[in-house]
Amino acid sequence: MLITLSIIGGFIILTLGAEALVRGASSIALRLGITPLIIGLTIVAFGTSAPELAVSVKSALAGNSGIALGNVIGSNIANIGLILAITALIRPIQVQSQVVKRDIPLMILASMLFWGLLLDGELSLIDGVILLSLLFGYLTFSYISSKNSNDEEEIEAGPNNPLLSGLFILVGISMLVGGGILFVNGAVDLAKTFGVSEVIIGLTIVAIGTSMPELVTSVIAALKGQSDIAIGNVVGSNLFNILGILGVTAIVHPVSSLGFQPFDFMVMLALAVVILPFAWTGLRIGRREGSVLLLSYLGYMGYLINQASAQALV
């Protein structure tokens, strides 16, 4: 009963938090003259990735590298195969040329770098410093480039008071973190009662649970006609997961890749690559592309469930 309440309560808090974050971020974008895309790639993306950060650092400190690493890999897969797919199915997403020419290729390069750094079996302190340095460089470049942008997308105005807008963002992020952790704890407890392994839990339940803020936020943004925030949230979250979350986690405690198969990394990289031609064609990700992404994700989930079943029989 408590597990069910944890899952349902977490989802409700996530929904309310996402609404507050989108409204507050939209208002800040209008007041500071920053494009909605940059807001989506930074404030919204980092806010919705906060649960991943909390779970990964907590897991690494507890010696559960499987959950810490699986959380990031699984979340990046879910962000594209599930979140972006569902958002596109609900409402086709318009994509700016900047996203196609810069942000998606950077996400692909970050995924390749992540894989390369793990070839020695772990992410070390030095690896963490490298990842965080690249994140700060990306943020600086994005902010400078936003000043030269002529993005004309209209976004829904949030609170008129700038302090209230900031409060909306803080409350939204807090609710996303709290709701995400509540949802994950309930889901993990449920999985453990069925004897599911740590790695599988990290790649599936924890990853999906900590990606719920991205899902709810992107869907709400898309329904409000704020495509830049929706696509920026997904791409920005994936970049932040690799450069920020893994960077901080590796600095706090080395992260081992023990128990992970190359196939998991290949799926993450393949999905990052495949959305490039999807977004390039007509500068939109429509329902057809969303269907392909969702079917790919369901296929991967089927593979993991099969792996979990095989482990349970051993």
pLDDT (tens digit per residue) in 127-166: 999 999 999 998 888 777 766 655 544 444 455 667 777 7
Whether 11 and 175 have beta carbons less than 8 Å apart is answered as no
Is residue 180 one of the residues assigned to a domain?
A: yes
Looking at this protein, which amino acid is placed at residue 195?
A: G
**Would you say 86 and 294 are in contact if contact means Cβ atoms under 8 Å apart?**
yes
Buried b (16+ CB within 10 A) or exposed e, 297-310: beebbeebeebbee
- Cα-based angle 226, 25, 184 (whole degrees, multiple of 5): 90
Tell me the per-residue pLDDT of 89-98, one tens digit each, with 9 for 90 and over.
988 888 888 8
Residue 154 lies in a domain: no
* Angle at alpha carbon of residue 286, lines to 85 and 205, rounded to 5°: 0
pTM, to two decimals: 0.79
Predicted confidence at residue 180, as pLDDT, reads 67
Distance (Å, rounded) from C-alpha 227 to C-alpha 37?
8
CATH number for 186 = 1.20.1420.30
Give the per-residue pLDDT at 238. 92
**Residues of the chain below pLDDT 70:** 1, 18, 22, 26, 29-34, 36, 48, 51, 146-161, 180, 184, 187-188, 191-192, 194-199, 202, 210, 259, 308, 310-314
- Report which of 302, 213, 259, 257 is spatially closest to residue 122, judged by C-alpha positions: 257
Angle between helical axes of 207-223 and 65-78 (0-180°, round to 10): 30
Residue 153 lies in a domain: no
Domain count, the chain: 1
Is there a domain that residue 35 lies in? yes
Q: Can you give the pLDDT at residue 275? A: 93
Query: Does some domain include residue 168?
Result: yes
Q: Is residue 97 part of a domain?
A: yes
Q: Could you tell me the residue range of the domain that residue 44 belongs to?
A: 2-148+161-313
**H helical segments located in 240-285:** 246-252, 262-280
Residue 155 forms part of a structural domain? no
* Cα–Cα distance for residue pair 290/274, rounded to 1 Å: 12
Q: Please tell me the predicted confidence (pLDDT) of residue 119.
A: 87
Return the amino acid letter for 106.
L
Judge whether 111 lies within some domain. Answer: yes
